[in-house]
Chains A and B, each alone.
Chain A
Amino acid sequence: MSDIAVSLKDLTLAYGDTVAVPDLNLDIHRGELIALLGPSGCGKTTTMRAIAGLMTPTAGQILIDNTDVTRVPPNKREVGLVFQSYALFPHLSGFENVAFGLRVRKTPEAEITRRVEAGLQLVGMAHLADRKPAELSGGQQQRLSLARSLVMKPKVLLLDEPLSNLDARLRLEMRTELQRLQRQTGITMVFVTHDQSEALALSDRIVLMKDGRIEQIGSPESLYNQPQSVFAADFVGYENIFAVLPSTTATPDRCTIKNPHGQLQLDYPVAADHIAWRPTGVVIGSGGHHGTVAAVAFAGQQREYVIDTDAGVIKADIDASVTPVAVGDTIRFDLPLSSARLITAQP
C-alpha cells in the first residue's frame, strides 16, 4: 500500500453544472513518471488541478501519501506544479524565483542559499541565477520553473504540457532532462499532455483519458501496440479504422469492413468488432484493392500516400526508396492481417 503516492477515489470534478470528470479512480505509484494523455477537454488538466488543490472536487477523495487531502488547501499540500507557461515571477531574479517558496516557509537564510544553489545546479541554471525571467529563453525558463518546484521537495510534481512550448530540438533535450531529474530525485511526477509521442517517449505509464474517463492505462508499449478501443487506436496512430461486419455463412473465409464512407472486402475472416491499420501497415503496389492516389508527401524516411478508395481515404506510408506513384494514378493496395490491430469492445 505504501508505494502509492497519489490515490484518486471516485473523484468527480465539475465546473458548475458541467461535469468534467465523473467518478475517476486512479493510483499513482511512488517514484513513477506517469502521463495523463488525451485530447483537449478530456479532463486531464482538470484532474491535475484537483490533485494540486486548485480545484475542489464535488465528490470523491484525493489521497497523497495515504493521507486524505481532499479538503487541504493548495498551499498546504506540498504538491509542485510546473505551469505550461512556467509562471515565473517577472520581478524576481532566477535565484529569488527558486528561493520564493523557501522564504514563504521562513527557511533560515543559510539553508535557502544552500538549497537554491543545489536546485539551480540540478537543472544546470547556476550560471544564470542573476537573470530576470524575461532575459531567459523558453528552455531556461522551463528549467528555472522546475528548480523552483523541486527545491520544495514536493510529494508529487505535476507538469502541465511540459514540452509543448519548446522547439523540436529543445523538446528532445528537455525530455531526457526530465527523465534524468526524475531518476535523480525520485520524485513522483505526473504530467499532462495531448501529444501521444511526448507521452510515449517520457513516461513509465500512460493514462489515456476521454470525456473525463480513463480509456486505457498501461505502459507506452502496450498502449502503442495494443490499443483496447477505437479511440485509443486512433490516438496512437492507427489512422485507418473500420468496423467489421459479421461474416455470412456463405462466405466464412472472408469478411466485409466498413467506415462511414463505404465498404471494403477482405479475403480473410476477422473475429473482432473493429480492425485498424497504421499508415505503415498498409502495403501498396500489390493486393486485391484499388484506389487513386490523391496526394503524396515526402517525409524523409518515407512517402505519405493518401489514397481515394471505395471507403474514403486510406493513408499509407511507404519507404521512400520505393519509386513514387504519381497523383491521379490508380494503384493496388493491400490491408494485411499481419499488420492489423483487432479491437473487440470491452463488455
Chain B
Amino acid sequence: MSQTWASRVILSLTLLFLIGPFFIIIFAGLSAGSTLSFPPDGLSLKWYLAVFSVESFRQSFMLSMLLAVFGTLTALLLGVPAAYAICRYKIPGAETIKLIVAAPIIVPGIIVGLALLRYLVVPLNFTVTLALFLAHTALVLPYAVRVVTATLENLRTDIEEAAILLGCTRLQAFTKAVLPNIKSGILAAFILGFVTSFNQVPVSLFLSGPGVRTLPIDMLAYMEITYDPSVAALSALLAFLSIAIVFIAEKTLGFSRYV
C-alpha cells in the first residue's frame, strides 16, 4: 500500500521535473510585461504575436525548415539503401558500419560541430549553409538507418524472390514489393529526423555565419541582446509544433513502434 503511494509520489515528481519547465515557458510567454519573468507580469498574447514580426526569426525559421526537410530527405536517400544492404547482404564488417553510422548520435554535438568547422568550412572554404546541410544530414542519418533497419528486419525476404520469379528485375522487386511495405517506417524515420534536425543546437552553434543561423541559434543570440518574453513564446510554439507532429505520427503510424 505505502509502496504504491511512494511510487506515485516519485512518478509525480519526475513528471513535474520533466514537464514543469514547459509550463513555465508557456506562461512566461503570456506575460503582458516587457521582460522575461515567471510568474508572468499580467496576461497577454502580444508576445506570441510579436514572434511573427521579428525578421531574423522568419529567416532562421525558413533556414531551419529547409535544413530539416532536405537534410532528412538526403539522409533517407543514403540511409534506406544502407539499411537495406545491412539487412539483406552479409557485408563484411556490417557491425562496424552500423557503429560508424551511429557515431553522430554518440559523439557529442559540440565535437561534431567543431570538427566540421575546423576541417570543412575553414580549410575547404565551404559556405556555412552547405556545412550546416552536411552536418544535419549526418546527424539524421543514424536515425534513418536505425528506424528503416528495424522495419526491414520485420519484413520477410522471400517476397523479393517471389517478385523476381513473377518477372521483376532486382530494382522492380525493391520498388514494387519492398518499398510499399516499409513506407510507414520511412515516414517515421522522416518525422524523427525532421524533429531532431529542427531542434538541433550544439552542431549548428559552430556553423553559424553572418545572416546564416538556424532558429534555435537565432533565439540564443536574440536573448543575449533582448531579454523580452518573445523567446519564451517562440519556444512554446516550437514545442507545440513538435508535440503536434509526433502526436499525429503516433495516431497515423503508431510512431512509438519505430523509435
Chain A interface residues (CB < 8 Å from chain B): 52-54, 74-77, 79-81, 83, 85, 87-91, 100-101, 104-105, 148-149, 152
Contacts and interface: CB of A to CB of B under 8 A. Distances in A.
Contact of A75 (B156, B159, B164, B177): B164
A161 to B, nearest CB: 13
A104 B162 contact: no
B156 A85 contact: yes
A52 B165 contact: yes
Nearest to A54: B161
The majority secondary structure among interface residues of chain B is helix
Interface in B156-177: 156, 158-159, 161-169, 172, 176-177
Residue of B158, B162, B163, B181 with most partner-chain A CB within 10 A:
B162
Contacts of B167: 75-76, 101, 104-105, 152
14 contacts: A54-B161, A54-B165, A74-B161, A75-B165, A75-B168, A75-B169, A81-B162, A85-B156, A85-B158, A89-B180, A89-B181, A100-B176, A104-B163, A104-B166
Nearest to B167: A104
Given A90-B159, A100-B176, A152-B166, 18 more contacts: A54-B161, A54-B164, A54-B165, A75-B167, A77-B165, A81-B162, A83-B162, A85-B156, A87-B156, A87-B161, A89-B159, A89-B163, A89-B177, A89-B181, A100-B166, A101-B167, A104-B167, A149-B166
Contacts of A149: 165-166
Given A90-B181, A91-B181, A100 B161 contact: no
Contacts of B176: 100, 104
Contacts of B164: 54, 74-75
A213 B165 CA distance: 26
A80 B165 CA distance: 6
Contacts of B168: 75, 104
B158 to A, nearest CB: 4
Contacts of A52: 165
A52 B168 CA distance: 14
Interface residue range, chain B: 10 to 19
B166 A148 contact: yes
B118 to A, nearest CB: 45
A325 B53 CA distance: 98
A219 to B, nearest CB: 30
Contact of A81 (B165, B172, B177, B181): B165
A303 to B, nearest CB: 43
Given A87-B156, A104-B176, A79 B181 contact: no
| CB-based closest 6 A-B pairs | A101-B166, A87-B158, A87-B162, A104-B167, A91-B180, A87-B159
A88 B159 contact: yes
Contact of B158 (A80, A83, A91, A105): A83
A53 B166 CA distance: 12
A149 B3 CA distance: 62
Contacts of A87: 156, 158-159, 161-162
B42 to A, nearest CB: 56
A116 B99 CA distance: 47
| Most chain B C-beta atoms within 10 Å of own C-beta, residue among A54, A75, A77, A83 | A75
A152 B158 CA distance: 18
Contacts of A100: 163, 166, 176
A83 B177 contact: no
Contacts of A75: 164-169
B161 A81 contact: yes
B253 to A, nearest CB: 15
Nearest to A76: B167
A238 to B, nearest CB: 36
Contacts of A83: 158, 161-162
A61 B117 CA distance: 60
B170 to A, nearest CB: 9
B156 A74 contact: no
Nearest to A52: B165
A100 B180 CA distance: 13
